[in-house]
């Protein structure tokens, strides 16, 4: 896949990282033009083209625009094991977001996420991970169409506490491997990011990550040695 898509990390305006007043934090989010983050595709690592072709259809420019196969419909379940923290159980909704769900499940099944980290943590907002670079600029070898209303796709999932969603850059179709889990509700993300499931068990792990992980700035950046490690993500069904 071409690396012409935007791979620079973007995010909300820098905020002083003091104990977060959630109401003030959400007000800052609404005021910021770019909200969550993130990055894009990279040709360096990730599931190979053969695996991708089994689960998705690519457009002429390599963008994944539809999904087929076992993860493209219905509900699926996955487990994220975070070293020293525990497990986060997920229910993924392929009926609401088939491309995002299929992409996440395929990458997880290929072992892409094993050993990666949560590199961006903002208490009262979200935790973000799945970047092979560990700094918000990396991704897998493919990008997927953004499944959210601002990009012309109906997606009813709201960004409530525990919801998992795809990270992206300013390009609406730049989602790749990075994802984020909501620590608290943030309706300003609805229709702007591709939510594709929710936590069914293990929000205490998300809470602990937010509470214990030191960050270096108001954007939630975490030094490499302090980043919580994703030991593995398993797709259960």
DSSP string, 66-91: EE-STTSSSEEEEEEEETTTEEEEEE
Nearest to 167 by CA among 211, 122, 202: 122
Q: Residue 127 belongs to what H/E stretch?
A: strand 126-129
In sequence order, which residues have a C-beta less than 8 Å from that of residue 160 and are 6 or more positions away?
182, 185, 198
* Per-residue pLDDT tens digits for 69-96: 999 999 999 999 999 999 999 999 999 9
Residue 95 lies in a domain: yes
Mean pLDDT of 196-225: 98
Other CB atoms within a 10 A radius of the CB of residue 73 amount to 15
Residue 123 lies in a domain: yes
Residue 203 lies in a domain: yes
* Per-residue pLDDT tens digits for 97-146: 999 999 999 999 999 999 999 999 999 999 999 999 999 999 999 999 99
Domain assignment of residue 203, given as a range: 22-235
Residue 1 lies in a domain: no
| pLDDT at residue 216, rounded to an integer | 98
| C-alpha of 65 from chain center | 18
Residue 175 lies in a domain: yes
Residue 15 lies in a domain: no
Residue 6 lies in a domain: no
Task: Tally the domains of the chain.
Answer: 1
Gap between the Cα atoms of 235 and 121, Å rounded:
24
CATH number of the CATH domain containing 198 = 2.40.100.10
Residue 14 lies in a domain: no
């Amino acid at each position: 896949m071409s690396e012409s898509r935007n791979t620079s990390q973007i995010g909300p305006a820098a905020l002083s990282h003091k104990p977060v007043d959630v109401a003030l934090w959400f007000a800052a989010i609404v005021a910021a033009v770019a909200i969550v983050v993130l990055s894009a595709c990279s040709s360096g690592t990730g599931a190979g083209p053969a695996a991708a072709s089994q689960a998705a259809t690519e457009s002429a420019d390599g963008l994944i625009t539809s999904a087929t196969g076992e993860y493209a419909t219905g509900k699926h379940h996955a487990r994220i094991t975070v070293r020293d923290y525990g497990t986060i159980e997920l229910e993924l909704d392929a009926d609401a977001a088939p491309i995002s769900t299929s992409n996440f499940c395929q990458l997880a099944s290929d072992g892409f996420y094993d050993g990666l980290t949560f590199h961006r943590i903002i208490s009262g907002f979200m935790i973000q991970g799945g970047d092979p670079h560990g700094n918000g600029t990396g991704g897998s070898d493919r990008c997927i169409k953004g499944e959210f209303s601002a990009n012309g796709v109906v997606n009813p999932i709201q960004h409530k506490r525990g919801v998992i969603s795809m990270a992206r850059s300013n390009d609406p179709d730049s989602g790749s491997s990075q994802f984020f889990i909501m620590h608290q509700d943030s309706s300003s993300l609805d229709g702007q990011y591709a939510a594709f499931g929710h936590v069914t068990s293990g929000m205490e792990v998300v809470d602990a990550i937010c509470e214990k992980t030191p960050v270096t700035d108001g954007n939630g950046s975490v030094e490499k040695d302090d980043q919580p490690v994703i030991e593995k993500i398993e797709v259960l069904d």
